[in-house]
Structure 1
Amino acid sequence: MSWESSAHYYRMINEQVRDAQGGMHSARLLMWSFDFADIEALQRSGDWAAATREMVEVAQRLEAAGATAIVICTNTMHLMADAVQAAIGVPLLHIADPVGALIQASGLQRVGLLGTAFTMEQDFYRVRLAERFGLEVLVPDVDDRAAVHRIIYDELVQGRVLPASRDVYRGVMQRLVDRGAQAIILGCTEIMLLVTYEDATVPLFDTAALHAQAAGHHLL
């Protein structure tokens, strides 16, 4: 939901439409860009009820403006995905679904999950992957979760990409692999700014890229 990852979503969706339709074609999009400082304050205070009201209101505005599907461009705020879907009449394209489907199709079963502390520690994301796609989801230990979370909020959402932090993520991912993870889910849409497929010894599944691909497919 930071503009750093929103810009990547916009680019990836438009590239998909251009590649599929050719010429000067681009995506018909409505984008609502939050002030992320407001969202982060609600997250930090644990006021998920207020955050849900914000998300529902915006989804309804986008639907009223003509949107035929809603995409929440963040993993963490899928905590209120069910509430948003219940408040609108168009589909919400859940970020976990294209990820889970591709992992399942790849024949993998045990995956590591990186993301904000909210995504790693609450069950809304892991349970969906388990129930819909039969995946066993591992999360880092408490110290590694704190490091992953800190780097997202103190660096990535502010556009800071530091080699030292890449090394931290490499270590976290390797420790998940040592525990049996067959792949790693980059479960925060800013992580792709820091980590590449060469930074792990197992496949990486980039939620932002797969979610943007699902959104682009909806437009074709």
Structure 2
Amino acid sequence: MKTIGIIGGVSWASSIEYYRLMNEMVRDRLGGVHSAEILMFSIEFGEFSKQERLADKGDWTLMTATMLDAAQRLKRGGADFIVIASNTLNSLAPLIEEKVGLPVLHIADATGKAVQKKGLRTVALLGTKHTMEHPFYRERLKKYGIDVVTPNEKERDYINTIIFDELCANRVKPEAKKEFLKIINRLRKKDGAQGVILGCTEIPLLIKQGDLDIPVFDTTAIHSAAAVEYSLKEK
């Protein structure tokens, strides 16, 4: 079994889910009381969020340094590969892989394969403004023959606010769920979305498959499954 290195804490609410899901998946695969071999470095999100605000203005220096430091710590600790427990921060995956010298499992690759397996061509993408507005995610999905539709500007602002002000602190409110479902259903009816990617690892805390009658792609679960699969492959 390879040791999974998780860059977590971004936010802790979804990092808990990564840890739980990976261990449950290994238990189910191997039986008994087997569990995953995991190292996690949990970033202090209060300070990190200040670095994210600088990145939003175009200065990625501090945030990139923090992410590289986290990856280096995991490498020194014995991780065989890295999982970044955040859709947004997977935009740094190629750089981290290059600088640190460990494989980084990109969340958009795992998600693209899951959507492709369902035979869908057009999906809605919900996430942070960075994930919805920048090309790193949609360009990765194009490799799998997938087109992406995103919410309008007002909806993107609302989603981003809920993610950072509520979900990252593990505050799940019914009014937010109602609005998210309204946005998804509009994208389905108006833009032809055949499914929806929950492209922020906190959104699955709010939206579940049972809430919708189209396929829901929980990126936290998909990414965790990809990590377990890679971990259990023979070295």
The structural deviation recorded for 1:195 is 0.6
1:53 corresponds to 2:53: no
Q: Is the 8 A contact 2:121 2:145 kept in 1?
A: yes
Q: Deviations over 1:128-174 (max 9, x none)?
A: 111x2121111100111111111111111111111000000001101
Spell out the pairing of 1:133-152 with structure 2 (5 A cutoff).
Answer: 133-152=144-163
Q: Is the 8 A contact 1:32 1:58 kept in 2?
A: yes
Q: Is the 8 A contact 1:114 1:140 kept in 2?
A: yes
* Matching residue within 80, 84, 108 for 1:96: 108
Q: Is the 8 A contact 1:116 1:152 kept in 2?
A: yes
User: TM-score by structure 2 length?
Assistant: 0.90
**Residue segments in structure 2 that go unaligned for 5+ positions in a row:** 1-9
- Secondary structure class of the residue paired with 1:215: helix
Aligned residues: 219
CA–CA distance in structure 2, aligned partners of residues 37 and 119 of structure 1 = 20
**Residue segments in structure 1 that go unaligned for 5+ positions in a row:** none
* Matching residue within 40, 43, 55 for 2:52: 43
The structural deviation recorded for 1:38 is 1.8
1:157 corresponds to 2:168: yes
The structural deviation recorded for 1:218 is 2.0
- Secondary structure class of the residue paired with 2:193: coil
- Secondary structure class of the residue paired with 2:82: coil
CA–CA distance in structure 1, aligned partners of residues 63 and 161 of structure 2 = 21
* Matching residue within 212, 217, 220 for 1:200: 212
Q: Is the 8 A contact 2:41 2:73 kept in 1?
A: no
More strand by share: 2
Q: Deviations over 1:8-30 (max 9, x none)?
A: 10000000111111122111111
Q: Report what 2:31 is aligned to.
A: 22
* 2:74 aligned partner, one-letter code: L
* 1:49 aligned partner, one-letter code: T
CA–CA distance in structure 2, aligned partners of residues 12 and 105 of structure 1 = 21
Q: Is the 8 A contact 2:75 2:102 kept in 1?
A: yes
